């Protein structure tokens, strides 16, 4: 029996990279896209291949709908129809609203929210025809509770939650499940540049007393796309160490 096919956006680093590796270990053939990390993508593609499954890395700006449609077309042609989609591509451009430029607003909404729409829109019709599929969209606790200086990021991540819940209701009758993972502070490239004061303040507010690991988010994605979660759709799984309790 052929392997199932997974596509992960933003798969060359951070949570996306951990998810790519976890799904490969679960036996998926995995395609992933990156915007500007060809060296890292090549290394990851090789690492996946060493796990005994097929891999495909592709450069793509998820904010570009035509580019995402091309990505899905290439994946379908080379690996097969997409069974699982994980939208992990995301950026931050933090600033207080009074100092936030239109460019910072538009780039975050474009990558995070439009990118999620573009990917889901490009795979969902084929999933509907096959009456099966699983989608996991990566949001953030910032999209649940909001964060100061992150009005653009929080808006994009809250939009992902609303989008995913609506889509789950639309496509459930076709056997497609749509869920959300909302991470808190996770050790990634994105959080590595946090000032020490910000990191210390965050740790004080996390009951478990540490930042999360990307692999812990990947574990939840692995569960949600598996048959173990066959009755789970429209859920928002917060993986945050208790920061918003």
What is the number of structural domains in the chain? 1
Residue 244 lies in a domain: no
Instruction: Determine the structural domain holding residue 64 and report its residue range.
Output: 5-239
- Dihedral angle over CA of 152, 107, 190, 7, nearest 10: 110
Phi and psi at residue 26, to the nearest 5°: -75, -5
Give the least confident one: 44-48, 188-192, 203-207: 188-192
CATH number at residue 171: 3.40.50.720
Percent of the chain at pLDDT above 90? Answer: 90
* Residue 75, domain member (yes or no): yes
For residue 87, tell me if it sits in a domain. yes
d(CA 23, CA 185): 22
Mean predicted confidence (pLDDT) in 183-206: 83
* Residues catalogued as catalytic: 153
Please indicate, yes or no, if residue 127 is contained in any of the structural domains: yes
Pick from 6-20, 68-82, 185-199, 215-229: least confident:
185-199
Has residue 199 been placed in a domain? Answer: yes
In a domain, residue 94? The reply is yes
> Looking at the domain assignment, is residue 99 inside a domain?
yes
Measured torsion, CA atoms of residues 22, 57, 43, 223, in degrees rounded to the nearest 10: -10
Residue 245 included in any domain? no
pLDDT of residue 28: 98
| Structure-block tokens of residue 209 | 């007393």
pLDDT, residue 66, reads: 98
């Amino acid at each position: 029996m052929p392997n199932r096919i997974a596509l992960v956006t933003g798969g060359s680093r951070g949570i996306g990279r951990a998810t790519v590796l976890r799904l490969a270990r679960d036996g998926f053939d995995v395609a992933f896209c990156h915007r500007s990390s060809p060296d890292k993508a090549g290394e990851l593609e090789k690492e996946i291949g060493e796990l005994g499954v097929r891999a495909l890395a592709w450069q793509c700006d998820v904010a570009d709908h035509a580019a995402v449609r091309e990505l899905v077309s290439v994946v379908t042609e080379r690996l097969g129809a997409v069974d699982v989609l994980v939208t992990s591509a995301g950026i931050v451009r933090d600033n207080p609203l009074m100092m936030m430029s239109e460019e910072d607003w538009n780039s975050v909404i474009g990558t995070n929210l439009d990118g999620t729409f573009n990917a889901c829109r490009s795979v969902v019709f084929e999933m509907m025809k096959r009456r099966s599929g699983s989608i996991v969209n990566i949001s953030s606790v910032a999209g649940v509770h909001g964060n100061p200086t992150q009005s653009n990021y929080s808006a994009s991540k809250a939009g992902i939650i609303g989008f995913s819940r609506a889509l789950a209701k639309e496509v459930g009758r076709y056997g497609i499940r749509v869920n959300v993972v909302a991470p808190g502070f996770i050790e990634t490239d994105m959080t590595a540049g946090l000032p020490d004061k910000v990191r210390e303040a965050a740790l004080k507010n996390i009951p478990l007393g540490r930042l999360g690991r990307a692999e812990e988010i990947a574990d939840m994605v692995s569960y949600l796309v598996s048959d173990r979660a066959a009755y789970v759709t429209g859920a928002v799984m917060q993986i945050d160490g208790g920061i918003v309790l």
